[in-house]
Amino acid sequence: MKWEKIIGHRENVLALRQAVAAGRVGHAYLFAGPRGVGKTAVARAFAAALLCPAPAAGEACGRCRDCRQLAAGNHPELQEIRPDGASIKIDQVRELQRVAYLTPRQGSRRVFLVEEADLLTREAANSFLKVLEEPPERTVIILLSSRPQALPPTVLSRCQVFTFRPLPVREVEEVLVREAKLAPEVAGEVALLSGGSPGRALELARGDFAELRRRACGLPGMLRQSPVLEVFRQAALLAEDRERALTFLDLLEAWLRDLLVWRETSAERLLINRDRVSLVRQEAAAYRRRDLVGLLKQVGATKELLRANANTRLALEVLFLRLAGARAGREE
């Protein structure tokens, strides 16, 4: 991955590239932002620039042995740490500590990418803090997190923090056309539903997007007319795949948002699901404003629970019962 391949995040890219070019690289960074927004892509471009022996203006050359190994995913000095099950455990951090203090076998640096760093257990975070307090020479640690508020303040204070925000729709469209080979009109539709997240947009484009979207748009109306057993059945079906459930919740959130927007403005141009304006109009009339606001908050809370590895089925059951119980009527 090279800087020139990154779409968006121009200020962060410029700052990191200048740090490499000037030789002013810190020992620890935190890349914070929504899931799928591009943090990992930027981290890998940064790692490539750090590990390339001859970067030009802070950009990896792309031709040397180190760059070829990075492209193949087998560079000995790039270590990626991911959650083992529901968390990053202390044994993983102890292994990071052991390797971090060794002399690099190849080149002058070693880079660690710690994905979903907010899932460090308390013991692992305390152990990790020791590395940040006494940073080993020639080692750069990059933490990635969509929930930086879940990290201990002592860890946050020892990192240079780069915040990654959702991309404009047109930049997400560019990713979809380039990476997923979507036609521009389809890319525009998916980009609107992605919330400015290229990673989420690619997941939508490559998965069963049409079916999930159909279910998300139809679920609230269906649950309002269903017996309780059907509510639990729908939650159980979706709970089988946590990542798919998160995608579904993103689509459901976009749908409820459209109902609220229509109720308040009746402006078709403001809708995400513009191709379903007739259903939006019909469904929006079935809710009070406060019900939609409450449901949107509940969907957001459910997403946070799933990302924190809470019981997926239980979290969905609570949400779906709330959807089933939303009352129609005029604003009081």
Q: List the domains of the chain with CATH numbers.
A: 3-163 (3.40.50.300), 207-325 (1.20.272)
Per-residue pLDDT of the chain (332 residues; tens, 9 = 90+): 789 889 899 999 999 999 999 999 999 999 999 888 999 999 999 999 999 999 999 999 999 999 999 999 999 999 999 999 889 999 999 999 999 998 888 888 999 999 999 999 999 999 999 899 988 888 999 999 999 999 999 999 999 999 999 999 899 999 899 888 888 878 888 888 888 889 888 888 876 777 888 999 999 999 998 899 999 999 999 999 988 898 899 899 999 999 999 999 999 999 988 889 999 999 999 999 999 999 999 999 999 899 888 899 999 999 999 999 864 443 43
pLDDT value of position 332: 38
Question: Do the beta carbons of residue 2 and residue 48 sit within 8 Å?
Answer: yes
- Residue 332 DSSP symbol: -
Q: Which two tokens stand for residue 316?
A: 């969905």
pTM of this structure: 0.75
How, if at all, do strands 78-81 and 28-32 pair?
A: unpaired
pLDDT value of position 186: 80
Q: Which two tokens stand for residue 256?
A: 């409820």
pLDDT value of position 326: 67
Question: Do the beta carbons of residue 26 and residue 160 sit within 8 Å?
Answer: yes
- Residue 301 DSSP symbol: H
CA distances from 117 to 47, 88, 93 (A): 17, 8, 11
